Chain A
């Protein structure tokens, strides 16, 4: 909430003028019953046609002024709401962009997207409604009561009694039904899940001939939904009849008290009409207020959710005074200092109590190719994610060119490294724009070179659009293998010192995969390459192979060495190659 107010304070003028004009409009509205009372008491009593037309004119004038005030108010409210939401959106986007992997993992990208879109939209609606109505409705309710007092104190006492009662009923029903509506929503979600599940598992369901029981289950859930809906509907359907009864009975009371007062000569007949009118104004505003509260409570919930994202601090912070390591690094790497060094590295994911990597120890020389193999959850991707410092380690140290990665400015560190992620992602735009992600000023020549190495040149040429080839969102217009080759090219454009291929050839057939590895070897010079894979064939020719098992290094060495020294590696190879081949290699 505090954050929202600070954003609103940039639009102080709008946020104050909006409600102010709204209240002005409301006060003009409150005069209307009095004018009509005068029409009756003065105009009709004195048979003064002129006066009646004057009052009629006054009513129209009040209407015009009211309209002007209200339009001004709406404009200011809209302006404040839209501008605030827009600022909020910019800042949130920037904030999210700078979160580190740990936060992205914990929150989840789909949640982040919802916060960015529908939640902020709801906040915008909320601000708009609050500025427009939150002051107006109570103002009219109490204004009507105050006006009733100016008309007649005794009759006004009925207002004093009815307003709290009415409010209690309206908000009581609201309070009871809101959690029930949540229950309905939850049940609807359940129905949705069942539908989804059925669509995703359609082959299995049909293979096992279970269509009938699935239908029965759906019907059961659907029935439950209807029961909830009807129940909550029954309660909220009470709102209108009950308020109607209360207001009309209050009106009866007003007429009765009014009759006594008129009889006693305290007030006139016109004043009674005015009192009746005030009563009906109250009802309309109270209902509006109830709806408003629903909107507000939704918006507040959304704002809180947005706020919780703002409260996330990126866990990876550049060390204060981190300065470019360029010179020292270059000098060091030239000599015998390894390019990448893991020294007793242990790592835990946030929220986990078990170490995902423990005591990882290895060094990689410049120009070496390193293969990393192991099962899911064995920590292969984690190892390579630590090199560009996507996560911070718990103990030990990760060094690049002899310098701890925490000493580098992030941009410099990541600039040295080309990453090809597991999931091949491309962005909407031209092929050239996508390739320039790797290097902002890459020339066409550099890009073509990278495409050549990544075995992507052939299919790019076959599309006859060159580098202007449009890429649709998520790369929909390309096949999985094509996308994968382009993401490899994107990393190569940068001519990185370290290239990380995180299971990046899984969509390639064996032949293309082999050609790719050959090209990489020939063209990358002293580039250090990390190959993460589940395929033994992919990594078996690497200079060094790391075998991971459950976060631990189970073996380290060449294919040949590991076949004799590492039981797990042997098992992996046996499950993928034939026995003879493994034995031949092992000798």
Chain B
């Protein structure tokens, strides 16, 4: 436990150092901000002195020194104006620095995402990564801003107040200093109590949220089985518990304000009494007493703020370290220095004794060899989740093989640039991903410089032109996030058009298992066969017709390639493929 805490401390110190490195670029701004803060604090603290001086000039009937009073008040007015200006400038500089630093970090984090290997992205939930780049960085920005504005000025205010008070009267300052620790004791007591209650509250809340997620997320199932009453019962039980914890957590945390006000009141009473006594004894003027009272009001406030800022900063550090953790992930290695361009590939692909597994414990592809001649069709067959994407991952070099080699036109794909390798493949996946933007931008995704004629030609070849024409704005129709306004089949046609536009020498196609209406399905098939003419194609196949026409069928199961051959050969083998094939036509 102790060692863990220590470790946490060092990591948070590391994190802090890194943040400072980002801030360093803005050192001029930071210096200005600090100067402004110092000025603001000093002047803010000087104002009560002036008020005190003013009051001392108003002793009683006939004992008012107007001439001096005007001088003091004018001075005060000028100082107030300067203070306000300095304060605004400080806030503005802080805003600018914070938001720029945050932007720098966010952009870097995003850039890093683009170079992270898929092996990292595949195993980390999208929601988690998004929340690091959005929520965590936001949390961090809030913490940083608060830290800038309040931590520093707060500390300076406390120090400054003490100095000013000391300069007026050390004895009464002593009174203030003595009462202050009470405030810490109280705050500490409350914080401890609140913390455990908040923990229990968030636990109960989490429990309730997951129940809500489960039951409302699947409300249709709940209703189909008439399970509403049972769910309600469980819900009310957890909700009741939550209410209990919430009440205590809310109450304890809301004690903070009255309690500090009370301590503040104690300081006030102490200063008032001691001060008045001092006036009688003659070592203090009424005006000075008023300044003291003014300070007493201001003095405890920063303590409160600072304790708030410290928690906020701790959160911010935690968030920042999550972001940095992401940024520290090793990116994919650069292309080899002497990597060559793969131009106009003929489409010969050789897999040479390939070994591959995502994790060492689960071995997947072992000693797999395959020679694909230009223009051949390779069908990947097997039940869902059997690892057909693994093959795509290797061909496109989203993952590197562990052993052996994959060669295109005789070149090891690790010796060519990723860019040119990927340019040589056209890929249509079943999970149709479209970018938010217009239809035109999406078709031209692979070749942004393509002319309108070329785009339309590609759309026509993909049998997508007719439905695009019917869209409200034709090719300029905006596609909403994840293509919400298009049907699954239309999305697939667009993905085909996207590949059709550049039509590289090799293809990776993923036949849709379901969810496409028959007419579109037929169009997609036609588009597919158009594309495949004379091109080396790897097809994740579901249709028997496609499978039968393939030159080589790779049968996969649980991530392994278990059989390899053409339709006839595989049927004769009488293995898994034969079973698959027969089961589809078995009499039920």
Contact = CB atoms under 8 A, between A and B. Distances in A.
Interface string B213-240: 1111111111111111001100110011
B92 A36 contact: no
Contact of B522 (A35, A52, A437, A571): A571
B360 interface: no
Given A234-B95, A245-B80, A262 B106 contact: no
B76 A252 contact: yes
B553 to A, nearest CB: 14
A583 interface: no
Contacts of A197: 435-436, 481-482
A441 interface: no
B515 A390 contact: no
B134 A192 contact: yes
Nearest to A388: B224
A511 B583 contact: yes
A203 B398 contact: yes
Contact of A241 (B85, B259, B481): B85
B522 A60 contact: no
B545 A575 contact: yes
A214 B246 contact: no
Given A197-B481, A264-B61, A575-B543, A124 B91 contact: no
A544 to B, nearest CB: 15
A78 B489 CA distance: 54
Given A196-B126, A215-B111, A32 B268 contact: yes
B88 A209 contact: no
A55 interface: yes
A419 interface: yes
A263 B64 CA distance: 6
Interface string A378-392: 100000000010100
Contact of A262 (B60, B126, B445): B60
A62 B264 CA distance: 12
A127 to B, nearest CB: 10
Given A204-B429, A225-B103, A262-B61, A244 B80 contact: yes
A437 B225 contact: yes
Interface in B179-219: 205, 208-210, 212-219
A229 to B, nearest CB: 5
A193 interface: yes
B83 A244 contact: yes
A411 interface: yes
B51 A215 contact: no
Contacts of B240: 86
B151 interface: no
Interface string A407-431: 0000100110101010101011000
Interface string B504-546: 0000000001111111111001000000000000000001110
B579 interface: yes
A224 B521 CA distance: 42
A409 B329 CA distance: 59
B266 interface: yes
A230 B99 contact: yes
B523 to A, nearest CB: 11
B456 interface: no
Contact of B398 (A206, A215, A376): A206
Nearest to A118: B209
The residue among B210, B219, B583 with the most chain A CB atoms within 10 A of its own CB is: B219
B113 interface: yes
A219 B586 CA distance: 57
Interface in A470-505: 473-474, 479-481, 490, 503
B450 interface: no
Contact of A82 (B115, B243, B446, B514): B243
A437 B227 contact: yes
In the complex, which range does the number of interface residues on chain A fall in?
Answer: 35 or more
A195 B251 contact: no
Contacts of B88: 237-238, 240-241
A413 B226 CA distance: 11
B276 A269 contact: no
B488 A376 contact: yes
B389 to A, nearest CB: 9
A577 interface: yes
Interface stretch (B289-297, B308-316, B367-375, B407-415): B289-297
A44 B276 contact: yes
A563 to B, nearest CB: 14
Given A196-B130, A199-B113, A244-B83, A112 B266 contact: no
Overall SS of chain A's interface: helix
Contact of B221 (A213, A425, A541, A575): A425
A473 B297 contact: no
A439 B363 CA distance: 42
Contact of A375 (B113, B247, B520): B520
A503 B515 CA distance: 10
Nearest to A237: B91
Contacts of A276: 51, 55, 290, 294
B58 A215 contact: no
Interface in A30-49: 32, 35-36, 39-40, 43-44, 47, 49
B9 to A, nearest CB: 31
Contacts, number: 435
Given A43-B280, A53-B273, A89-B239, A375 B111 contact: no
A244 B87 contact: yes
A414 B227 CA distance: 11
Contact of A200 (B134, B231, B294, B482): B482
Contacts of B340: none
A428 B214 contact: yes
B423 interface: yes
B258 interface: yes
Nearest to B389: A203
A265 B422 contact: no
A42 B553 CA distance: 105
A371 to B, nearest CB: 11
Interface string B33-73: 00000000000000100010011011111111010010001
A312 interface: no
B163 interface: no
Contact of A255 (B69, B208, B250, B385): B69
Contacts of B1: none
A334 interface: no
B121 interface: yes
Given A86-B240, A376-B487, A571-B522, A198 B269 contact: no
A558 interface: no
A307 interface: no
Given A117-B209, A269-B55, A78 B265 contact: no
B228 A56 contact: no
Nearest to B251: A78
Given A78-B247, A208-B446, A97 B583 contact: no
A513 interface: yes
Interface string A266-309: 00111011001100100000000000000000000000000000
B170 interface: no
Interface in A96-110: 96-101, 104, 109-110
A202 B396 CA distance: 12
B110 A571 contact: no
Nearest to B542: A576
| 6 nearest CB pairs, A to B | A375-B517, A56-B273, A509-B383, A63-B265, A233-B95, A237-B91
30 contacts: A63-B269, A66-B258, A67-B261, A78-B251, A82-B246, A93-B235, A97-B232, A117-B209, A192-B130, A206-B418, A208-B445, A214-B114, A222-B107, A238-B88, A242-B84, A244-B83, A249-B80, A255-B55, A262-B58, A263-B63, A269-B58, A376-B516, A473-B213, A503-B514, A510-B383, A510-B584, A513-B583, A514-B588, A576-B543, A577-B545
Given A56-B273, A262-B58, 12 more contacts: A59-B268, A63-B266, A82-B247, A86-B240, A205-B114, A208-B498, A237-B92, A238-B88, A273-B55, A375-B519, A427-B215, A571-B518
